[in-house]
Amino acid sequence: MPKKMTCELKPATRFTLTTIVDNYSDILLLDEWENRFVKRFPRVGKDGERTLPLLAEHGLSFLLEVEGEETKHTIMMDFGLSNIAVMHNIRAMGIDPGAVETFLISHGHHDHIGSIREVLGFMPQPRDVVVHPHAFLEERLHLFSDGRTAPIPSLKREMIDSRFPVVEITAPHVLANGYVATITEIPRVTDFEKGVPTAYYKKGDMFYKDDILDDQGVVVNIKGKGLVIVTGCGHSGIINTILHAREITGVREVFAVIGGFHLSGVFYEPIVERTIEEMEKFSPSLIAPTHCTGWKTQVAFSRAFPGAFVLNAVGTKIVLE
């Protein structure tokens, strides 16, 4: 049976993304002076006491809330790097895990699955865990040109509590009662987004190129505004991801792009200028690069999109409507 590659999304009236974990923390960031879409985690709570500090790490975890037709749905995407930061921040921010309807794993790398045991164990009831089957690839590693290797710790099936149904997908999949779709198995159609050149996996004594096929994000269609595209690491390329989101939804307008762009370091910085040129064609109202985007790339995007760029941080809440 051929894969269904289109998803007719219900138009949402509001989409809220809360960053549970990201690489950056700054309690001095202020919301109302920066961007109309952004709310920062308050330094002082309603009781007048200082709020608990939030933990940052090289990992990613988002809480996604979508509203429409008097309904609200909540998805948790990814689990950070360590088994500490996500649960600490959930408690500090007062997030109710019981509201989560679905868990989504963007891909199986260690900086997106670190707290999966702790989070699922904290849940009052089991929920679906949506994942691409390649997230369970064994022996993922970096293979360098001189023959050196470095392991990439990755998702194992036993990390997922047996009470939780695992939903394996290889094509766009609708969530949240039709308001959210996954961006899955993203075609690499641009001529400059080549993925991770050192990514391989091993079977027996053989090495195979790892195209990180499990890389996926989500897309929401905000009524009258256009698409909100959220990535984990964007290993397939952020432009490829946007193009695929437009193709599977049939919606051309791009309202916001949030998530990892994976443009940090010597392999990727040479394509930053080209990525910005292509991003300019979409004219998004908000761009919030996170996690693996890289400091130099963040600066380049902030200069190229001064009215749309948002410096993301742990605890940041982006509200789009």
Confidence of residue 1 (pLDDT cuts 50, 70, 90): very low
pTM: 0.96
Inside any domain, residue 3: no
Inside any domain, residue 306: yes
pLDDT score at 29: 87
**Buried residues in 128-150 as b, exposed as e (16+ CB within 10 A):** ebbbbebbbbebbbebeeeeeee
pLDDT tens-digit profile of 99-132? 999 999 999 999 999 999 999 999 999 999 999 9
Inside any domain, residue 232: yes
pLDDT tens-digit profile of 21-49? 999 999 888 765 556 899 999 888 888 88
Q: Please give the mean pLDDT across all residues of the chain.
A: 95
pLDDT tens-digit profile of 167-203? 999 999 999 999 999 999 999 999 999 999 999 999 9
The pLDDT of 74-87, averaged and rounded, is 98
CA of residue 113 relative to chain centroid, distance: 12
Asked if 183 contacts 199 with a C-beta cutoff of 8 angstroms, the reply is no
Inside any domain, residue 8: no
Inside any domain, residue 2: no
Asked if 104 contacts 79 with a C-beta cutoff of 8 angstroms, the reply is no
Q: Print the domain residue range for 201.
A: 14-320
Alpha-carbon distance values, 55 to 23, 52, 82, 289 (Å)? 9, 10, 11, 19
Inside any domain, residue 253: yes
CATH number, residue 158:
3.60.15.10
What type of residue is 201? Y
pLDDT score at 310: 95
Q: How many domains does the chain have?
A: 1
Inside any domain, residue 204: yes
pLDDT score at 30: 74
